Structure 1
Amino acid sequence: MTENEDCGQPVERKGRLTSVLALATLISTFGSSFQYGYNVAVINSPSPFMQQFYNTTYLERYDTPITDSFLTLLWSLSVSMYPLGGFFGSLIVAPLVNTLGRKGTLLFNNIFSIVPAVMMGVSETVKSYEIIIVARFIVGICAGLSSNVVPMYLGEIAPKNLRGATGIMPQLFITIGILSAQVLGIRSILGTSTGWPLMLGLTGIPAAIELLLLPLFPESPRYMLIQRGDEKTAKRGLQRLRGWDDVDEELLEMHLEDQSEKAEGRLSVLSLLSQRSLRWQLVSIVIMNMGQQLSGINAIYYYADSIYANAGVRETDIQYVTVGTGAVNVIMTLAAVFIVEASGRRLLLLLGFGLCCGACGMLTVALTLQENITWMPYISIASVIIYVTGHAIGPSPIPYVVTTEMFRQSARPSAFMVAGSVHWLSNFTVGLIFPFLESGLGSYSFVIFSFICLLTLIYIWLLVPETKSKTFLEICQMFARRNKVEIKLGDLPTNDSKGSLEDLVRVTTF
């Protein structure tokens, strides 16, 4: 706090984007989140050549061509093993971040990127399609960990007035990763019969960069203070991140949070599920993560080429339309970084799900009428772009931000474990069943996605509060009445009253 010269009242000092905070954000998101997006889209464009490799390898082994049904099964596994690995990665988030820390877990996670990168890079040389399927599962573990740990790390190192913007950075780099894979997948670059193994293997480069540079930056000060009890290291890291020496107020807020959680201890997933004071926070992150994935976004990424082909786009133009869609995704996510602190989380979620709902309805109409109206393919493309725009500003990035904000230190790892499990199971479900939905329902498959977007929007409108610029304890208070608990906080202590922190927080049920 600083003192206002005119009235002598304390004025809150706002955090600023220091070089240390900016570089820690860029390195962690490029090294981890970029890979998540890259591996979502990397097998889309070269899929015909990869399936040709599967067929050729099978023929050389067994002297008979592969059946269509078995080839479909192998390809479905190549696609769906990635989100399945993500689910298993999300299951080990809590034990790893509690043991190794946030930064330590990100460094450890690079094993699950570099090893499968080598495996996929040599798959054609060793003539094994099985190694691709296994590698996709392993790199999925990397994505499952990074998609949960990076937002947690950034949410804990950022000041509260920048928490939304830094919290969207992982999603921004996911979209950049998707776009990079789409560009490299162009037929004149690496989307060829000889270039696809290199394209798959490139995912190891961001991991190597993170492994070299991230050790230079601080571990989460909240983790060091609250879970490790190392106030000296926490203070030193906080001073580097904030760019000034006077960080006592922020340390005091951490102490206050620590004292409020002493009675609870570190919450496991089972104990988290039984906590009355966290009931609606938990329901909210489950609904938002289900809505995020079951709204159909990964159907767009996994099967973009087939969607555009069904929409009537010429085969030679599909790869460029796909890249254009990826570029829109990056631009709109970048826009969300700059507007999230002004507009808030809730408005972006409502606007995003609303646009997705309308776009899915419009896409259904366009696909249904495309045989009768020659210009309907353009409406289909516009619908996909509107959908991607809506998802990029709200449903894609904001659930990660609010998961960090809705839970305090003791519950946060388990909360991310639950959110991540729901996220990846929903992702896996969409990736697995969408081809069957597309063949069975045709254009009407997007009606289901539209309905899911509408239900999620209604839930957010009725039950999710705004969390921007709030401390973790203030957000806890906002949920208190809905959870039918009362959280009483005394006046914020001064620097000379730290010894009585345990007297300042009392949690009682109504």
Structure 2
Amino acid sequence: MEQQDAVRREGKLIPVLALATLIAAFGSSFQYGYNVAAINSPAKLMKAFYNETYYDRIGEYISEFSLTLLWSVSVSMFPFGGFLGSLMVGPLVNKLGRKGTLLFNNIFSIVPAILMGCSEVAKSFEMIIVARLLVGICAGLSSNVVPMYLGELAPKNLRGALGVVPQLFITVGILAAQILGLRSLLANEEGWPILLGVTGIPAALQLLLLPFFPESPRYLLIQKKDEAAAKNALRELRGWDDVDAETQEIWEEDRAEKAAGFISVLKLLRMRSLRWQVISIVVLMGGQQLSGVNAIYYYADQIYLSAGVRAQDVQYVTAGTGAVNMLMTICAVFVVELLGRRVLLLLGFSICFTACCVLTAALALQDTISWMPYVSIACVISYVIGHALGPSPIPALLITEIFLQSSRPAAYMVGGSVHWLSNFTVGLIFPFIQVGLGAYSFIIFAMICVFTTIYTFLVVPETKSKTFIEINEIFTKMNEVSEVHPEKEELKDFPPSTAGQ
């Protein structure tokens, strides 16, 4: 009865846990989403600024090719910075902790916010390019560290819901950038530097507020060996004094992992006991970015125009699409613990596959059948709904769940690198695919969606309401290693069941 009561109590979202989640996600994940979208609305104004600045220096306007190249560099610096940020995750979270890394990461938001905000006054487009690189590093770190931090703070029966919150704030950031990027607000000659500089505000708030909230108890206990601090953090996060059962479970994990020691990325890739976990993260993170989500947004304006939406109104329809994305991610927060991670992945990728197939047909036929553009709009909205339910929020959550403490930082480095390299690749090659294949380019994305769906169905287990230990036991069997195997890499001498997570 006592154990049942403990499990029941773990389900409570007490104010400390809720506020820590909101501050971490708003201060970090929001910026990722905001900076993805903020540069889109003022693109023409910023290109004009590049041209005028070059003319003031040289006395002639920049060539069309050079201007396109400069703009491409400005855009691509963000995913490249994201890749660099992902490579920094392991060393920083092990040295500074999860909360400490988030606080340190605000440097990579506040400094570029100042640079972008002052770029027009300073007559320097180079400041924008450097700032995009720095804010990309910020996004690369936050996209990995926030899910890790929240996953280690949360009790097992809230871990899924809290793990989706970072993706929710990414969509809130995108929507905020789309709204502030309306031409009647900040996407104008006077307002675009402010639009870019707004990203520093959430960082400043996080820098002020997050220090008052606990560090990850698992980090404090396993890596810092500070049991008193870990117990204090658990008491704050759970709302009661008796945290011995959960502390014991964390100690058991620590004892089981001691033989592994520090796990680098190379060691992670070589470990047989982590084979299917690593493959799953690579497939899911690659599928998330290569399934066409960026291409859908790229095509959306053209689809809206072909359906009869006036050019000046497309910005409002785009913001409406962003609102749908946010609302469906809110839905995912509430259903992830009800339906499970696996079901949302299968459902989401299946919807995206269907939407890509129908969209291909609709785009091919839109000049011959009058109502086809409306089918295209329905496909865009359907795709956004499907991606927001599973492919967008679940993969980062799964990294926290399917790796234990010693391997988790390296796993996030691998997952983050795949995420950002895939993002960069799509941005680089999609324009060429579009020129070569036109509407049929979405067939490629449909194939990736169906492959990821099949892989998820055959390989990825359900992790809902399971402890990290129980999830690891599932993969131990999949990897065909004994619970105590020669390398002693992940799982050893766990008790049959544990009460706390």
Question: Structure 2 length as normaliser, TM-score?
Answer: 0.94
1:171 counterpart residue number:
167
Q: Bigger shift: 134-143 or 356-365?
A: 356-365
Where does the alignment leave 5 or more consecutive residues of structure 2 unmatched? 486-490, 497-501
Residue 433 of structure 1: which of 392, 416, 429 is its match? 429
Deviations 1:334-374 (A, max 9, x none): 00000000100000000000011111112212222222223
SS at match of 2:240: coil
CA distance in 2, matches of 1:4, 1:92: 41
Deviations 1:142-192 (A, max 9, x none): 000000000000000000000000000000000000000001111111111
Query: Is the 8 Å Cα contact of residues 484 and 492 (structure 2) preserved in structure 1?
Result: no
Residue type of the partner of 1:238? L
Query: Is the 8 Å Cα contact of residues 263 and 410 (structure 2) preserved in structure 1?
Result: yes
2:34 counterpart residue number:
38
Deviations 1:287-325 (A, max 9, x none): 000000011212344665456446664311210110010
Change (3 A) 1:3 1:219: closer
CA-atom RMSD in angstroms: 2.0
User: Cα offset for 1:60?
Assistant: 2.4
CA distance in 1, matches of 2:196, 2:304: 23
2:2 counterpart residue number:
2
Query: Is the 8 Å Cα contact of residues 41 and 301 (structure 1) preserved in structure 2?
Result: no
User: Cα offset for 1:65?
Assistant: 2.5
Residue type of the partner of 2:440? Y
Residue 201 of structure 2: which of 205, 208, 225 is its match? 205
| Equivalent residue runs for 1:294-305 within 5 Å | 294-301=290-297, 304-305=300-301
1:220 counterpart residue number:
216
Residue type of the partner of 1:381? I
1:370 counterpart residue number:
366
Change (3 A) 1:4 1:430: closer
CA distance in 1, matches of 2:102, 2:345: 28
CA distance in 2, matches of 1:311, 1:402: 39
2:179 counterpart residue number:
183
SS at match of 1:98: helix
Query: Is the 8 Å Cα contact of residues 357 and 442 (structure 2) preserved in structure 1?
Result: yes
Query: Is the 8 Å Cα contact of residues 403 and 411 (structure 2) preserved in structure 1?
Result: yes
Residue 460 of structure 2: which of 452, 456, 464 is its match? 464
| Equivalent residue runs for 1:56-205 within 5 Å | 56-205=52-201
SS at match of 2:482: strand
Residue 407 of structure 2: which of 397, 406, 411 is its match? 411
CA distance in 1, matches of 2:110, 2:275: 39
Q: Bigger shift: 270-279 or 147-156?
A: 270-279
Where does the alignment leave 5 or more consecutive residues of structure 1 unmatched? 490-500
Query: Is the 8 Å Cα contact of residues 347 and 390 (structure 2) preserved in structure 1?
Result: yes
Query: Is the 8 Å Cα contact of residues 356 and 390 (structure 1) preserved in structure 2?
Result: yes
User: Cα offset for 1:44?
Assistant: 1.0
SS at match of 1:122: helix
Query: Is the 8 Å Cα contact of residues 2 and 12 (structure 1) preserved in structure 2?
Result: no
> Quick check: 1:324 aligned with 2:320?
yes
CA distance in 1, matches of 2:304, 2:444: 19
Q: Bigger shift: 455-464 or 310-319?
A: 310-319
Query: Is the 8 Å Cα contact of residues 93 and 413 (structure 1) preserved in structure 2?
Result: yes
2:22 counterpart residue number:
26
Query: Is the 8 Å Cα contact of residues 79 and 431 (structure 1) preserved in structure 2?
Result: no
Q: Bigger shift: 445-454 or 53-62?
A: 53-62
CA distance in 2, matches of 1:170, 1:3: 31
User: Cα offset for 1:74?
Assistant: 1.4
User: Cα offset for 1:62?
Assistant: 2.4
> Quick check: 1:252 aligned with 2:275?
no
User: Cα offset for 1:252?
Assistant: 0.9
Change (3 A) 1:108 1:303: farther
CA distance in 2, matches of 1:228, 1:4: 31
Query: Is the 8 Å Cα contact of residues 483 and 492 (structure 2) preserved in structure 1?
Result: no
SS at match of 2:122: coil
| Equivalent residue runs for 1:232-247 within 5 Å | 232-247=228-243
- Report the count of equivalent residues: 491
User: Cα offset for 1:4?
Assistant: 6.8
Deviations 1:247-279 (A, max 9, x none): 111111101100110111121111111111111
2:499 counterpart residue number:
none
Residue type of the partner of 1:147? S
Query: Is the 8 Å Cα contact of residues 102 and 220 (structure 1) preserved in structure 2?
Result: yes
| Equivalent residue runs for 1:244-283 within 5 Å | 244-283=240-279
CA distance in 2, matches of 1:106, 1:254: 23
User: Cα offset for 1:193?
Assistant: 2.0
CA distance in 1, matches of 2:168, 2:114: 26
> Quick check: 1:55 aligned with 2:51?
yes
Q: Bigger shift: 324-333 or 314-323?
A: 314-323
User: Percentage identity across aligned positions?
Assistant: 67
User: Cα offset for 1:117?
Assistant: 0.4
Deviations 1:180-221 (A, max 9, x none): 000111111111122111000000000000000000000000
User: Cα offset for 1:31?
Assistant: 0.0
User: Cα offset for 1:13?
Assistant: 4.8
Deviations 1:447-482 (A, max 9, x none): 111111111111101110001111111111101122
Question: Structure 1 length as normaliser, TM-score?
Answer: 0.93
CA distance in 1, matches of 2:305, 2:51: 23
